[in-house]
Chain A
Amino acid sequence: MSDVLLSVDHFTKRFGGVTAVNDCSFSVESGSITALIGPNGSGKTTLFNMITGYLKADSGSITFNGETITRPRPADLYRKGLSRTFQQARIFPELTVIENLVVAAGYSWKGLFGKRVSLDDEVRAQKMLHEFRLESLAQLPSGELSYGQRKLLEFAAVLMSEPSLVLLDEPTAGVNPVMIDTMERHIRERNAAGVTFLIVEHDMQLVMRLCNPVVVLDQGSPIAFGAPATIQTDPLVLEAYLGS
C-alpha cells in the first residue's frame, strides 16, 4: 500500500435545502492519477471547490501531505504544493503567454520588487513552453489563444510551481481530439515525473485509459471506488448513470 497524499474527510455542503456534497470521504494515493466521475450534478465541481478552498465546507476537512486542514485557502494550498485548473480555463487574458507562466511560478518578497519577467523567470518559463510546444506563442496576449490552447496554458501555468498534487477540472471538455491526446500525453509525462493527479472528467474512454483508481460520486457522496474495470461493472454505478 502506498502513501495517501490527500484525503477528504466527511465533507458536507448545503445550498439552501439542497445537499450538494454529503459526508464525502475518499483519498488520493501518492503517484496515482485518480479520477473523480459521476453524473451531472453529482457534486464533483463543488467538491473540487471545497478541497481547494474556493468554497467553504459546512463541515469536514482535508488532510494533505499528513497535515490536516479544516479551512483550506487557495494561497496556502498553493504554497504547500496543491494546485488546480478550472473547467473554463481561467487564465489572465491581458497577460502574455509567458507572463501567465511567470506569475504562477511563485516568487520571493525580493522577487516581488524585481523585474516583471527576469532572465531567470524566462529560462524557467521557456522550459515549460518547450514541453507544451507553446514557444511560438510566448509573446502573444493569452486572450488571443484558442480555447484548447488556453486549457494547455492553464495546465502549464499550474505546473510552474512544481506542485505535488494537481487537480484538473475537466481538462479535455470542449477541445478537439488532437488536443485531448496532447493533454493526455502531458498528464502521463508529468505523472511519470512524480506528480499526483485528481481529475474530474466526462470523457469515459480517457478515464478508462488514463486513470486508476476511479472514484464515483453520486448525490454528493462516493458510491464506488476502484480500478476502472471493476467500476465499469459495478451495479451501483450503472444505476447512478442510467437511472433505475
Chain B
Amino acid sequence: MKALLARVGVVRAVAFFGVLVIVPLVTGQIGWLTNALIFTIMYAALASSWNLVGGYAGYPSLGHAAFFGLGAYSMAIVFNGSVYGGYLPFVMLPLVAIGAALISLPIGWVAMRTRADVFAIVTITVLFIAQTLAFNFNTVTGGAQGKSVAPAPFDVSTYNWPFYYAMLTLLAIAMGISLYFRRSKIGLSLATVRADEEKAHGVGVRVTAVKLIAFAVSCGIVAMVGGVWAYYVGFVYPQFAVDPLITIGMVLMTFLGGRGTLWGPVLGAFILVPAQEFFAFTFGASQLYLFAYAAVFLVIMLFLPRGILPSISDRLRKKRAAANGILRDASDAASAVSAQPAAHQTGVTR
C-alpha cells in the first residue's frame, strides 16, 4: 500500500516536470507562453517555499517579499550595467541563498518568539523596512529610479529558455525540500510546532531549531527566485521587487491549494497566476484588477479556508472511515461514551 502510494507520487512528479521540461522545446517560438509559464512557475516556487514556514510550521509570514527583493537587488548590484553575466548569475544563486538565509536567521529568531498574529505583524514590518531601505538607500539600490541588471547575451529565439529552466529548477528544489521535510524528523517536529508548540517543548522537540531551519531555508529559496526574476525582467524597481502583492501571492496560492501539502502551493499557483494575468489583461491599467484579485482572495478565504487538496482528502478519508468505521466504533464504544462528558467539561472551563 505504502509502496504503491510512493509510486503514484513518483509518477505524478515525473509527469508534471516532464511536461514542463518539454513545453519550451515544443512551443519554443511562442514567446508569450514561456513568459507566462515563467511567472507561473516562479509563483509555484515561491508558494512552495512559503509553505515550509506558513504551512508546515504554521507561522504565516507576511514578510517573504523582503527576501525576494534581497535576491533581486543582489543580482542588480553585482551584475550592474558594466558587468555582463551570461550564465554566471545562475551559478551565483546558491551564494544568494546562503546570504539571504544568514540574514533571515536573526530576523526569524526575533519574529518567531511571537505567535501567529503578532508574528504576522512583525514579518510585515520586515517587509516595510525592506521597502524603505530599497527606496532610500540610493547609493546601493538606486532609490526610486531603480537599478538595471546587465542584459543577458542569449540568443533571441530562445532567450526565455535559461530563465525558464532556472525557475523550473528552483521549483524542483523547493518541492524537493518540501518532500524531504515531510519525510524527515524536521517535518515531524514542525507538525508538532504547528499543532501545539507548548506541548512540543515539553516532549523535547527542538522547537527553536526546526522553526529557524524552516524559516532560513524558505527565505533562501525565495531570494534565489528573486534573483532569477531580476535577471529576467532586467530592471529592479523598489515597488515591484519588494511588493506586498508578491507576499500575498505566495500566501494566497498556498491557502488555495492547501497549506502543509506538497502539491497544494503548486496547484494554487497554476490556478491563480493565469487568473491574475487574465484580470490584468481584462482590466488593464485601470487598477481594478487589484479589486478583482482581492475579490478572488475573499472568496477563497470564505469558502475554501482549508484549501483544495485538504478538502478533497478529507472527503476521501470520510468515505473510507464510513466503510470500516463500524468495526472500530463497536470496539471502543464504552470509552467514547465516557469521553464525551469530559470533553464537554473542558470546553466550558477554558
Chain B CB within 8 A of A176 CB: yes
Q: Are B203 and A103 in contact (CB under 8 A)?
A: yes
Chain A CB within 8 A of B187 CB: yes
Across the interface, name the chain B residue whose C-beta is closest to A158: B203
Given A75-B207, A103-B192, A146-B339, A92–B199 Cβ distance below 8 Å?
yes
Select which of A73, A87, A148, A157 is within 8 A of B338 by beta carbon. Answer: A148
Q: How many angstroms between the C-alpha atoms of A75 and B199 in the bound complex?
A: 10
Q: A83-B202, A147-B336, A147-B340 are in contact. List 18 more A-B contacts (CB 8 A).
A: A75-B202, A78-B204, A87-B346, A95-B192, A103-B185, A103-B192, A104-B203, A104-B204, A107-B185, A112-B206, A113-B185, A147-B338, A157-B203, A158-B203, A161-B204, A174-B343, A175-B338, A176-B337
- Could you say which residues of chain A place their CB within 8 Å of the CB of B345? 174
Q: How many angstroms between the C-alpha atoms of A149 and B346 in the bound complex?
A: 17
A-B CB proximity, top 6 nearest? A174-B342, A147-B339, A104-B203, A148-B335, A176-B338, A74-B201
- Interchain Cβ contacts within 8 Å, total number: 116
Q: Are B342 and A99 in contact (CB under 8 A)?
A: no
19 contacts between A and B (CB under 8 A): A78-B204, A83-B203, A92-B199, A92-B200, A103-B200, A104-B203, A106-B204, A111-B185, A115-B184, A115-B185, A116-B182, A116-B185, A146-B339, A157-B203, A174-B343, A175-B339, A175-B342, A176-B334, A178-B334
Q: How many angstroms between the C-alpha atoms of A114 and B186 in the bound complex?
A: 8
Q: Using an 8 Å CB-CB cutoff, how does the interface string of A109-151 with B read, 1 for contact, 0 for none?
A: 0011111110000000000000000000000000010111100
- Could you say which residues of chain A place their CB within 8 Å of the CB of B131? none
Q: Are A90 and B199 in contact (CB under 8 A)?
A: yes
Chain B CB within 8 A of A226 CB: no
Chain B CB within 8 A of A241 CB: no
Q: Are A148 and B196 in contact (CB under 8 A)?
A: no
- Residues 54 to 103 of chain A near chain B (Cβ within 8 Å): 54, 73-75, 77-79, 83-84, 86-88, 90, 92-95, 99, 102-103
Q: Are B204 and A112 in contact (CB under 8 A)?
A: no
Interface size class of chain B, counting residues whose CB lies under 8 Å from the partner chain: 35 or more
Q: How many angstroms between the C-alpha atoms of A78 and B337 in the bound complex?
A: 34
Q: Are B202 and A99 in contact (CB under 8 A)?
A: no
B241 to chain A, nearest CB (A): 33
Q: Using an 8 Å CB-CB cutoff, how does the interface string of B177-210 with A read, 1 for contact, 0 for none?
A: 0000011111111011001101111111111011
Q: How many angstroms between the C-alpha atoms of A86 and B343 in the bound complex?
A: 13
Chain B CB within 8 A of A223 CB: no
A223 to chain B, nearest CB (A): 24
Chain B positions within 8 Å of A, measured between CB atoms, are: 182-189, 191-192, 195-196, 198-207, 209-210, 321, 332, 334-343, 345-346
Q: How many angstroms between the C-alpha atoms of A117 and B321 in the bound complex?
A: 25
Chain B CB within 8 A of A196 CB: no
Across the interface, name the chain A residue whose C-beta is closest to B198: A54
Chain B CB within 8 A of A192 CB: no
Q: How many angstroms between the C-alpha atoms of A74 and B199 in the bound complex?
A: 9
B61 to chain A, nearest CB (A): 21
Q: Are B196 and A90 in contact (CB under 8 A)?
A: yes
Chain B CB within 8 A of A179 CB: yes
Q: Are B341 and A161 in contact (CB under 8 A)?
A: no
B95 to chain A, nearest CB (A): 22
Chain B CB within 8 A of A173 CB: yes
- Could you say which residues of chain B place their CB within 8 Å of the CB of A42? none
Q: How many angstroms between the C-alpha atoms of A99 and B192 in the bound complex?
A: 10
A150 to chain B, nearest CB (A): 8
B144 to chain A, nearest CB (A): 44
Chain B CB within 8 A of A52 CB: yes
Given A78-B202, A103-B189, A115–B346 Cβ distance below 8 Å?
no
